[in-house]
Amino acid sequence: MWQLSRVIVSCCAADARVVDVEIHGVGTPQANTWVTVTGVWRPTAGTRVPALDVTGLTVIPQPKNPYRDAPPAPGTRPSAAATP
């Protein structure tokens, strides 16, 4: 198990927050590697961090704007950086 993290900015850097998802089912990529994952949400009753059973993982280049403040465009996949 490892955590996938993404910085979310709603207005400006002052309101930035990190969102984590526990990743299960695949090995841990190197820290600060950008990946796209697909999978099935794992029930998280009683836990604070959402969890994903991964069925696919692809290493990708860092996006031009890693602090995107809007949802991904239709037909695209969100990405995030791996953290150990």
pLDDT confidence of residue 62: 87
Listed as ranges, residues in the chain with pLDDT below 70 are 68-84
Domain ranges of the chain: 2-67+78-83
Query: H-helix or E-strand containing 4?
Result: strand 2-8
Reading the block at residue 44, the tokens are 């998280």
pLDDT at 72: 60
- What is the pLDDT at residue 28? 94
Q: What is the pLDDT of residues 14-25, one digit of tens each?
A: 888 888 999 999
Query: Which residue, among 50, 49, 48, 52, has the nearest Cα to 36 in the 3D structure?
Result: 52
Q: What is the pLDDT of residue 82?
A: 56
Q: What is the pLDDT of residue 47?
A: 74
